[in-house]
């Protein structure tokens, strides 16, 4: 952070086409925290995440669908009773808090998830238990193959993500718009040794 004491910076959210709005201001204190930069290195240690081996990856298709009822009015989505079953992952609208795995991934292997947003809505898709690289969008490779744990999918967008399944267990995979999750847009991804695959 190299600004001068007392400087302020406006952070503007320009995502929405209807217009940018001011999200927050970042302000430097009037008094510097230290008189000069520290002499010792403050470099962080290297990233310990295992690099996906794309040449040997297993590939899985995950499609997100639904939402047509939501276009009929807010009442359909806003109530407490009408939300269940509006959204699906691979054709299943998940309900309740315990569910069979939608995918079982071999532990220790690289997996590519080919995500398809077959809806007219944005969905921030979140995976528990792992970070993943975002490989590409609509067939176009991303510039930095960035590490994320949530990927925002635009309407009708195709996104490919990859990760090494090194964390055994049952992990929730869901839209992070919680009305969508409650309406069925969630599933469990199981990571287990090869012998226990179903
Ligand atoms: Cu969603």
Q: Which domains does the chain have, with CATH numbers?
A: 54-196 (2.60.40.420)
Do 134 and 106 meet the contact criterion of CB atoms below 8 Å apart?
no
pLDDT at 149 over 80: yes
DSSP H stretches of helix in the chain: 74-78, 178-182
* Long-range contacts of the stretch 142-148 (C-beta < 8 A, 24+): 147/47, 147/49
Residue 173: name the closest of 59, 63, 81 by CA: 63
The rounded Å distance from CA 5 to ligand 1 centre is 41
pLDDT of residue 76: 44
The rounded Å distance from CA 180 to ligand 1 centre is 5
The rounded Å distance from CA 100 to ligand 1 centre is 21
pLDDT at 61 over 80: yes
The rounded Å distance from CA 106 to ligand 1 centre is 27
DSSP state letters, 115-143? EEE-SSS-EEEEESS--EEEEEETTEEPS
pLDDT at 162 over 60: yes
Which band of pLDDT confidence, cut at 50, 70 and 90, is reported for residue 91?
Answer: very high
Distance CA 174, CA 6 (A): 42
> What is residue 81's three-state secondary structure?
coil
Sign of CA dihedral 138, 144, 145, 150: negative
Which band of pLDDT confidence, cut at 50, 70 and 90, is reported for residue 12?
Answer: very high
The rounded Å distance from CA 122 to ligand 1 centre is 6
pLDDT of residue 85: 66
> What is residue 164's three-state secondary structure?
strand
Q: How far separated are the first and last CA of the chain, in Å rounded?
A: 51
The whole-model pTM stands at 0.79
The rounded Å distance from CA 4 to ligand 1 centre is 41
The rounded Å distance from CA 186 to ligand 1 centre is 9
CA 102 to chain CA mean position, Å: 17
Q: Which residues surround ligand 1, an ion (CB under 5 A)?
A: 123, 175, 177, 180
The rounded Å distance from CA 159 to ligand 1 centre is 15
The rounded Å distance from CA 94 to ligand 1 centre is 13
The rounded Å distance from CA 123 to ligand 1 centre is 4
Higher pLDDT, 191 or 33: 191
Higher pLDDT, 18 or 117: 117
User: Quick one: tokens of 39?
Assistant: 């002499």
């Amino acid at each position: 952070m190299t600004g001068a004491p007392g400087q302020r910076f406006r952070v503007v959210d320009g995502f929405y086409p209807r217009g940018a709005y001011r999200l927050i201001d970042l302000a430097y204190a009037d008094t510097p925290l230290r008189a000069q930069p520290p002499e010792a290195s403050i470099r962080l240690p290297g990233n310990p995440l295992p690099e996906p081996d794309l040449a040997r990856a297993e590939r899985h298709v995950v499609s997100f669908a639904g939402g047509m009822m939501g276009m009929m009015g807010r009442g359909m989505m806003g109530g407490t009773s009408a939300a269940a079953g509006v959204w699906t992952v691979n054709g299943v609208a998940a309900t309740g808090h315990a569910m069979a795995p939608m995918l079982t991934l071999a532990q220790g292997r690289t997996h590519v998830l080919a995500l398809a947003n077959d809806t007219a809505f944005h969905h921030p898709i979140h995976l528990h238990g792992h970070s993943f690289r975002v490989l590409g969008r609509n067939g176009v490779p991303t510039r930095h193959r960035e590490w994320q744990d949530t990927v925002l999918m635009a309407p009708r967008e195709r996104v490919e993500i990859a990760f090494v399944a090194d964390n055994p267990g049952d992990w929730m995979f869901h839209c992070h718009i919680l009305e969508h999750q409650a309406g069925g847009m969630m599933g469990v991804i199981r990571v287990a040794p090869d012998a226990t695959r179903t």
